[in-house]
Structure 1
Amino acid sequence: MMKFIIGILFLIPVSFTSYWLVCSFLFILCFLFMIFVNVDWFFCHITYCLGCDLLSYLMMILSFWICALMILASTKLLKLNFYYKLFSFVVLTLLLSLLITFYSLNMFLFYLFFEISLIPTLLLIVGWGYQPERLEAGLYLLFYTLLFSLPMMLVIFNCFMKGTLDYYSMNFQLNFYFFICMNMVFFVKIPLFFLHLWLPKAHVEAPVSGSMILAGVMLKLGGYGLMRFLKFFLLNGAFFSMLLVLISLFGGVVVSLICLRQSDMKSLVAYSSVAHMGLVLSGLMTFSIWGFNGALILMLGHGLCSSGLFCLVNFCYERSNTRSFYLNKGQINLIPSLSLWWFMFSSCNMAAPPSLNLLGEICIINSVMFYSSLSMVFLMLLSFFSASYSLYLYAFSQHGHAGAGGYCFSSGFLREYLLMLLHWIPLNLLILKSDFLFN
């Protein structure tokens, strides 16, 4: 397992010489990772404080894939000669910190690299963002995460006083107050409704690469942390879980209604991420195997789907220099082949078959309905409004009369179609290997 970390370390100097070589090597490393790593639900290839199981394995593959696609999506930096070498360096640093976070068996190592991964993300938003408000968005992201991560550090110190920070050696249960302190940073990261205000602001101000990594991997850090550490709260967390399920489902419905009022395409996709991750959190809080499996599958599906939607919004922005629905109408007349990808990803966003989102939502809906039949109303509303805002996103951007500036649009480039295909293939074909996720 260390060979992949060392491979990325040796790839960092290459980032200052060749942009495309970094992109190619990341794809090669991703395929090697799939070939050489044989995982089960149990930890394998354990060193002193690093190891890998199915959960961390899937998150690491997602990190490799999204980081490679980020470099492929940001070729405008190469054309404009806008600090593209530094950009490659920041992406590789971010990937390295994410891999060690997912590898960690030691709680302090996990916490350390969990926080380190925030720094390259902040640099992406502040350094390559579009508007001057990106500084405010970066501060929102920084202070939300840092403020709520301090209680987690206190819990880690308390666990150290009890004897160990090794994940598998810790067999004690922590009380209700520790449940709040430990998991608050993960609730911010997912994000839980009421703690989500940093996310739309960060997405809207971030460049396409920043939005891709935020939606694709950074939100999944919250879900991953909850999956890892909920075993310490099986007794005390169950008393609090009903409230969290209610907040996440109610928040998902409210955010879905907010999506229907958006005039900015990127803002709509950002708010839809909050709604989907609310569904993930409700599945996790049922403390059932169906909920855990559904949450894992939906996290993978959402990471690929929302990343693809942010790419599509960026294609419009690069041509028209605006993300407004009112100025990006009638694209089906201008770029019909790209309109097909809009339909494919909008349908995946509403959990149409055969996407991973469908499988994940079926598992989560099953687990939440068994947990509480009263949640059926919220689940119905969430599914309905999810389809509504996905249809709204597609219909308003593709139909209608194109503006006068639309006729100078360039047609789709090969790089853009390749980028969409590399998002769509794993999103829709991984369902054929769903038995791998239920072992």
Structure 2
Amino acid sequence: MLKFLIATAVLMMFASMWEVVQFFLFVLSFVFFLKCSHDFFLCGLGYMMGMDYLSFALILLSIRVVGLMICSSQKIKKNEYFSGGFLLVNLFLLICLLLTFSVMNYLFFYISFESSLIPTLILILGWGYQPERVQAGLYMLFYTLFASLPLLICIFMLYNAGGSLIIGMSYKIMELNFESMLWYVSSMFASLVKLPMYLFHIWLPKAHVEAPVAGSMILAGVLLKLGGYGIIRILPLFSFVNKSFVWLWVSLGIVGGVLVSLMCLREVDIKSLIAYSSVAHMGMVLGGLMTSSWWGMTGSLVVMVGHGLCSSGLFCLANMVYERIGTRSMLIGKGLLSFMPSMGFWWFLLSIGNMGAPPTLNFAGEVQILCSLIGWSKITMIGLGMLLFLSASYTIYMYSISQHGLFYSLLFSCSPGKIREFLILLLHRLPLNILIVKISALTFMP
């Protein structure tokens, strides 16, 4: 793993050369993908770092999304709006993500987990759109920091009790009392807010709406997956205690997803709608993770990867429309098929991916989560049915409102699409269809 970290750090020396950074990030993702051929549970061990299938999938997603978000931010390079600093911030964020997904020590995991907040905050404050970006950045910072401090105390408690913080060798709590429940809730809370869990999701739409396209893509593509990754790593320490709380997290995830889906049906800001849809998808992921079953874990991982690519592509599309018509409102930006017919095809492909239609990764992951949740309790069929129906409803609503109707009368002409934009959308969509053929590459299957 150290060689990939060093390669990313070396790229920071070429921050003034935009094309070089783009090219080598995609080369890095290709070289990393070649490491998928191992048959070991852990590989690349050394310097307190290692990688299993879970880490492999999320590191590959991180490198790919960072490369795509730099390609999508050509306007910063064109306007020479601190383009060198922009590349430095993105590469520093990638290093934080690589460390988060590869370290084998809980304390180092916490440090890198929280370090990713700094470059994300700089992206929102430095390259955001509206004056409200300061408020959005502070919301994100204080929500996540407030929730993460109990996790740090819990890590010290585990070290005091077991003498080790190595992942897989740490002290496991096997008693059900008030103290163990307190440590369980405080340690899980950091990941649940980062996911984000319903009731603690207010920071996410604000951060998405005020962030630049790169900030939105990395938030939806990778940073939400930090919460799911944290749950998978921390849950084995509290597996005995977690059995008493599964009903709470599953019901909160499903009911919260249904309520957020209803909110999506009344949204008119297209970026806000895509951001709220992320909360609905992560509610299903939360339910699958908390069942602690094989189907739930692997299905949640597949949904996280599929959602990371699909949601990032939708934010990229929304930005392409915003750069042409100057608004994110679907009431004004209607009839896009009239003057951007080529983009309508990509809107359709990414929309059906967002609703989990086959053959996409989202569909494969949702089927696995459905199996795990229905196997845990058949009552969840009611909530899951409503969640999947509303997910399709707001996606069709977004597609039909934006593509059909009377187009913006003040817009006389615009570019229907550039080669660079189509290439970015293709690189978002292609893995969604190709990886479902070899789904074992993203799961724990040998």
TM-score range, shorter chain: over 0.9
Match of 2:327 among 322, 347, 354: 322
Q: CA deviation at 1:241?
A: 1.0
Amino acid at match of 2:236: K
Aligned to 1:242: 247
Aligned to 2:59: 60
Q: State how far apart, in whole Å, the 1-side matches of 2:375 and 2:10 are.
A: 49
Q: CA deviation at 1:410?
A: 1.7
Aligned to 1:401: 406
Q: State how far apart, in whole Å, the 1-side matches of 2:76 and 2:86 are.
A: 9
Q: State how far apart, in whole Å, the 2-side matches of 1:119 and 1:204 are.
A: 18
Aligned to 2:274: 269
Question: How do 1:290-309 residues align onto structure 2 when only pairs under 5 Å count?
Answer: 290-309=295-314
What's the % identity of the aligned pairs? 48
Aligned to 2:177: none
Aligned to 2:91: 92
Contact 2:136–2:203 (CA under 8 A) maintained in structure 1: yes
Aligned to 1:364: 369
Amino acid at match of 2:114: E
Q: CA deviation at 1:234?
A: 1.1
Q: CA deviation at 1:37?
A: 5.5
Counterpart secondary structure, 2:45: coil
1:33 aligned to 2:38? no
Contact 1:40–1:53 (CA under 8 A) maintained in structure 2: no
**Deviation sequence 1:181-202 (CA, Å, 0-9, x none):** 1110100000000010000000
Q: State how far apart, in whole Å, the 2-side matches of 1:44 and 1:413 are.
A: 41
Amino acid at match of 2:169: S
Counterpart secondary structure, 2:411: helix
Counterpart secondary structure, 1:46: strand
Contact 2:100–2:112 (CA under 8 A) maintained in structure 1: yes
Contact 1:320–1:405 (CA under 8 A) maintained in structure 2: no
Amino acid at match of 2:156: F
Q: State how far apart, in whole Å, the 2-side matches of 1:40 and 1:219 are.
A: 28
Aligned to 2:19: 20
Q: Alpha carbons of 1:433 and 1:371: their partners in 2 closer, same or farther (altered >3 Å)?
A: same
Match of 1:223 among 213, 221, 228: 228
Q: CA deviation at 1:411?
A: 1.8
Q: State how far apart, in whole Å, the 2-side matches of 1:36 and 1:268 are.
A: 36
Aligned to 2:11: 11
**Unmatched 5+ stretches in structure 1:** none
Q: CA deviation at 1:170?
A: 1.4
1:151 aligned to 2:156? no
Counterpart secondary structure, 1:410: coil
Counterpart secondary structure, 1:79: helix
Question: How do 1:184-195 residues align onto structure 2 when only pairs under 5 Å count?
Answer: 184-195=189-200
Contact 2:339–2:413 (CA under 8 A) maintained in structure 1: no
1:419 aligned to 2:424? yes
**Deviation sequence 1:68-94 (CA, Å, 0-9, x none):** 001000000011111111000000000
Amino acid at match of 2:301: L
Contact 1:341–1:420 (CA under 8 A) maintained in structure 2: yes
Contact 1:334–1:407 (CA under 8 A) maintained in structure 2: no
**Deviation sequence 1:98-121 (CA, Å, 0-9, x none):** 001111101110000111111000
Q: State how far apart, in whole Å, the 1-side matches of 2:76 and 2:385 are.
A: 43
Q: State how far apart, in whole Å, the 2-side matches of 1:87 and 1:435 are.
A: 36
Q: State how far apart, in whole Å, the 1-side matches of 2:8 and 2:320 are.
A: 29
Q: CA deviation at 1:407?
A: 2.7
Deviates more, 1:206-215 or 1:34-43: 34-43
Match of 1:208 among 198, 207, 213: 213
**Unmatched 5+ stretches in structure 2:** 175-179
**Deviation sequence 1:326-369 (CA, Å, 0-9, x none):** 11111111111100000001111111111100000000011101
TM-score by length of 1: 0.98
Q: State how far apart, in whole Å, the 2-side matches of 1:416 and 1:334 are.
A: 16
Q: State how far apart, in whole Å, the 2-side matches of 1:316 and 1:406 are.
A: 12
Contact 1:249–1:379 (CA under 8 A) maintained in structure 2: yes
Q: CA deviation at 1:232?
A: 0.8
Contact 2:106–2:166 (CA under 8 A) maintained in structure 1: yes
Number of aligned positions between the proteins: 438
Q: CA deviation at 1:49?
A: 1.1
Q: What do you get for the CA RMSD once the two structures are aligned?
A: 1.0
Q: State how far apart, in whole Å, the 2-side matches of 1:36 and 1:149 are.
A: 32
Q: CA deviation at 1:171?
A: 4.5
Q: State how far apart, in whole Å, the 2-side matches of 1:398 and 1:369 are.
A: 36
Q: State how far apart, in whole Å, the 2-side matches of 1:425 and 1:190 are.
A: 25
Match of 2:386 among 381, 393, 401: 381
Q: CA deviation at 1:48?
A: 3.9
Contact 2:172–2:238 (CA under 8 A) maintained in structure 1: no
Q: State how far apart, in whole Å, the 2-side matches of 1:259 and 1:166 are.
A: 41
Q: CA deviation at 1:286?
A: 0.9
